[in-house]
């Protein structure tokens, strides 16, 4: 989808640095960002941009401030640490109109929830576009980054881990997996990618997994049904630190469908730790 050049762009900002990268990219493209920051989630750096901090449930207020700033296109991006409990909110009039739909969506998986939110935003008069459409430089490209490259052994682990990550994505269970010496040893669940890597490290320290030097690969890819406009997977410096601490040899991410946040820091950390970071084209099979 082609983004609209020159017009204002709205950003609904959760936590992390991606909303700030998107705001910077919008300015470079000649668009004026206006950020609605989720209270308790968004970083303090949003103060450098025109913004308003709103609580969950202030949907009507969000709609009115975006309209007042001429916003027609929105980017919804950033980490949400705790899934909101709408039953405890003070809802404004705009929220009361749509909250029955949101509550119905919460009964389904994350993919259905996020796609449903996009639909609701459309009913409010906005078009939701992906962060990668504003800041394409965030998206992983083919091949290695930095000084280190995967060897033949790592190549085998990449293939195994990517296959496992795709398989759990089909059932909406997770986005990542770890393979070591040709064997899948961990797949992402509710703990998230970094938590899964920590689990691998704990298994190694407990003697349940054994290898010398750096071995094994973390692979991360999007679920087949994932709405990349609002839920493109990411890796960042924290992921690299966790992989290094666990003793892994590198990280493989799906090209075009995973974002690398704070890329310069990611490359520097990986180079220093002796890890490779590589973009890999994912195949459709999950055999």
The pLDDT tens digits of the residues spanning 244-260 come to 999 999 999 999 999 99
Helices (H), the chain: 18-28, 59-68, 93-105, 110-123, 131-134, 152-170, 192-205, 228-231, 237-246, 263-273
Co-location of 177 and 235 in the same domain: yes
Count of domains for the chain: 2
CATH at residue 71: 3.40.50.20
Q: What is the mean pLDDT of the chain?
A: 87
The pLDDT tens digits of the residues spanning 25-50 come to 999 999 999 999 988 888 889 999 99
Is the separation of the CB atoms in 219 and 187 below 8 Å? Answer: no
pLDDT at 281 over 80: yes
Residues 6+ apart with CB under 8 A from 186: 177, 178, 196, 197, 199, 200, 203
Co-location of 173 and 240 in the same domain: yes
Co-location of 120 and 211 in the same domain: no
Co-location of 19 and 77 in the same domain: yes
Lowest mean pLDDT of 39-43, 131-135, 268-272, name the range. Answer: 39-43
Give the end of a domain, one of 75, 100, 134: 134
pLDDT at 112 over 60: no
Co-location of 228 and 125 in the same domain: no
pLDDT recorded at residue 226: 86
pLDDT recorded at residue 5: 60
Give the end of a domain, one of 105, 134, 163: 134
Domain containing residue 92: 9-134
* pLDDT above 70 as % of the chain: 84
Co-location of 177 and 76 in the same domain: no
CATH at residue 152: 3.40.140.80
Give the end of a domain, one of 114, 134, 154: 134
Q: Is residue 274 part of a domain?
A: yes
**What number is the average pLDDT over the span 125-148?**
94
Co-location of 112 and 207 in the same domain: no
Is the separation of the CB atoms in 66 and 10 below 8 Å? Answer: yes
pLDDT recorded at residue 285: 44
Co-location of 164 and 259 in the same domain: yes
């Amino acid at each position: 989808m082609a983004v609209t050049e020159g017009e204002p762009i709205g950003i609904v900002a959760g936590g992390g640095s991606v909303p700030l990268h998107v705001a910077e990219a919008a300015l470079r493209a000649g668009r004026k960002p206006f950020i609605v920051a989720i209270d308790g989630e968004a970083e303090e750096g949003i103060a450098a941009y025109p913004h308003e901090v709103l609580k969950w449930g202030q949907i009507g207020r969000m709609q009115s401030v975006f309209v007042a700033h001429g916003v027609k296109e929105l980017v919804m991006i950033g980490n949400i640490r705790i899934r909101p409990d709408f039953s405890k909110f003070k809802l404004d009039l705009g929220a009361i109109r749509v909250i029955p739909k949101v509550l119905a969506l919460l009964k389904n998986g994350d993919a259905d929830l996020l796609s449903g939110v996009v639909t609701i935003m459309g009913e409010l008069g906005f078009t939701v576009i992906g962060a990668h459409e504003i800041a394409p430089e965030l998206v992983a490209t083919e091949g290695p980054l930095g000084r280190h490259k995967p060897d033949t052994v790592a190549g085998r682990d990449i293939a195994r881990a990517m296959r496992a990550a795709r398989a759990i994505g089909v059932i909406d269970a997770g986005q990542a997996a770890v393979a070591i010496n040709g064997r899948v040893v961990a797949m992402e669940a509710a703990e998230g990618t970094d938590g899964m890597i920590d689990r691998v490290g704990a298994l190694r320290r407990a003697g349940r997994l054994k290898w010398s030097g750096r071995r094994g690969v973390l692979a991360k890819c999007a679920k087949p049904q994932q709405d990349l406009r609002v839920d493109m997977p990411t890796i960042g410096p924290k992921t690299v630190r966790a992989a290094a601490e666990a003793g892994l040899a590198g990280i493989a991410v799906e090209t075009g469908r995973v974002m690398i946040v704070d890329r310069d820091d990611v490359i520097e950390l990986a180079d220093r730790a002796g890890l490779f970071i590589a973009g890999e084209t994912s195949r459709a099979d999950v055999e």
